[in-house]
Structure 1
Amino acid sequence: MRVVVTGGAGFIGANLVAELLARRQVTEVRVVDDFSTGHKSNLAGLAVTLYEGSVLDPELLDEAFAGADAVVHLAALPSVPRSVADPLASHHANATGTLQVLEAARRAGGPYVVAASSSSVYGANRELPKRETMRPAPMSPYAVGKLAAESYLAAHHHCYGLDVLPLRFFNVFGPLQSADHAYAAVVPAFLDAALAGRPLTVHGDGRQSRDFTYVGTVTEVLAEAVLRRVAHPDPVNLAFGTRTTLLELVAQLGTVLGQPPAVVHAAPRPGDVRDSQADGTRLRALFPGVVPVPLAEGLARTAAWFRGR
């Protein structure tokens, strides 16, 4: 089986590449990445065929997709705050980029396409847990782009018969996640600060909650989706229904690190969702064999990676 991973040099992408290469059914992994957010070093020692460039380049996609059996589309411009600062760049990468990937898949004869969406599409809808049948209410350009991407996946299934699977990621964390930029996710940002002896910056009161998902759980789902060609035109939450406030996360990190970190509070960020928790019913029905890595274990693995860098 030949698998293309767009964004394969990124945090989730590189972890997925390693997972796919460990599966005997996978004979080749191709990576498409322009290194705008990913790092070539993430692919060190991994036997991949690299196509350096953007998913907005149709010719590059045609070359990478030729003869492929499956495409895992992870290439994106992540971060809600980044999209608030530059909504056009976010739209081009996340919405138009997905459309380019789907059109390239059509030209390549219809490989299976699984793609990353985001829990941010639920936005201002305050109901918990978040069920896929709920009305989306995006609060940021990033969320709008991800909702558009989901819609293009569904349209290409219904209009052109592509087998697709849109997965809504919920606060994925783990090894390889970068902390060295202004838009770093909360777990790497907290770990980086704590290990350097700096206080953790909590935006708002810290009682906002998230459904944290360890990257190893995410890559297991993605690999199983590819190998079994799990198709579902409607979005599927990729999280298991946990709910952890940022203050609880800080306390858990203190347990993992053996010392409670100092905390400073800052103003809430525009576009941030207050609470997030997945209904995992649809995910469990499609992937009954996947057992999620518990938060404490995932944090311990991630802290060990940060310490070993």
Structure 2
Amino acid sequence: MNGTTLDFDSKYLVLVTGGAGFIGSNLCEWLLSNGNRVRCLDNFATGKKENIEPFLSNNNFSLIEGDIRNLEDCQNACKDADYVLHQAALGSVPRSINDPITSNEVNVSGFLNMLTAARDAKVKRFVYAASSSTYGDSKGLPKVEDIIGKPLSPYAITKYVNELYADIFSKTYGIETIGLRYFNVFGRRQDPNGAYAAVIPKFVMQLMNHESPTINGDGSYSRDFTYIDNVVQMNILAMISNKKEAVNTVYNVAFGERTNLNDLVGLLKENLSVFDSEITKVNVIHGTNRQGDVPHSLASVEKAKNLLGYNPKYSIEEGLKEAVKWYWGNLRN
């Protein structure tokens, strides 16, 4: 990630929960490449060993195989840590609808365990993955941080509860917290497989295999798709900011533009056709709208720009070029 440096007088130990996951492993990589010590906590429910394989030989990297639902694991992971980047969660709206209890155990009870352990270990700051799903049925666009609606899924409820707990812990115990509401993140190491795979890697895999991707609905639903390097930048800025007014709050993490699903498939075909021209001939199937889906999502990133100096480098077009290169090199059968 260009343009962001850690201006530390000494090396700090950063705990990345869910560090073997898509976003977590990219954070681990950036932190290590910039001279920091990194401790990863993961139970590999959704994270993958291969994501952190390159780090295991690095003396500045350590792995704790544990579960955030276990308070003792959280305490061990937080010991002597200076900062926590909390990414561990069970994502996916459909997964939460199918199994709300497990989503709640991981995303709420696990989150509370981590907050408590971080407080007791006196970490400098607790930066956590929040979600754009918190905006729920709010109709206004773009989404601004202080105006939300009612949640539309169990997953959205869990992520909103995270924000409430973080706010109370900041006010009650004095721990610094920052929540990052991610908007449809994509990029290298994002898993294309499984029932709850994100739309971009899933579509890429299908198109590379000349299979027709299925769009839920007529393709008019739109999202603020956000490349991974923008997200890494935001996490680092949230971690190191020394502005008093920048902490104990939440931020949107996005690029600030929206793309509908029909246009998304067109961009994917265009980028993949560089490697295989036959992909342009693959047809798209339209299915039913998915339960709990928000029709349109677009973020205002003005708060992040003003308070943290956020400067997202990658639009969806630029991000997809980078992502497709990685997908083509790593995901082909």
TM-score, length-normalised on structure 2?
Answer: 0.89
**Alpha-carbon distance in 2 for matches of 1:14, 1:135:** 30
Q: Which of residues 93, 113, 116 is equivalent to 1:100?
A: 113
Alignment of 1:85-124 (within 5 A): 85-124=98-137
Unaligned runs of 5+ in 2: 1-11, 274-278
Partner of 2:268: 253
Partner of 2:25: 14
Q: Does 1:274 align with 2:295?
A: yes
Cα distance per residue 1:111-146 (max 9 Å; x no partner): 310000110111111111111111332100000000
- The CA deviation at 1:220 is 1.5
Counting aligned pairs with the same residue, the percent is 40
Q: Does 1:228 align with 2:237?
A: no
Partner of 2:42: 33
CA contact (8 A) 2:136 2:148 kept: no
Partner of 2:5: none
What value does the CA root-mean-square deviation take over the aligned residues? 1.3
Segment of structure 1 superposing worse, 189-198 or 226-235: 226-235
Q: Does 1:284 align with 2:297?
A: no
CA contact (8 A) 1:19 1:223 kept: no
**Alpha-carbon distance in 2 for matches of 1:109, 1:235:** 21
Count residues with an aligned counterpart.
307
Name the CA shift for 1:279/1:289 in 2 (closer, same or farther; >3 Å): closer
- The CA deviation at 1:298 is 1.1
Q: Does 1:51 align with 2:64?
A: yes
**Alpha-carbon distance in 1 for matches of 2:311, 2:52:** 25
Partner of 2:328: 307
TM-score, length-normalised on structure 1?
Answer: 0.96
**SS of the residue 1:45 aligns to:** helix
**SS of the residue 1:96 aligns to:** helix
Q: Does 1:166 align with 2:179?
A: yes
Name the CA shift for 1:163/1:265 in 2 (closer, same or farther; >3 Å): same
Partner of 1:244: 259
Cα distance per residue 1:143-197 (max 9 Å; x no partner): 0000000111111101110111001000000010001101111111110110111
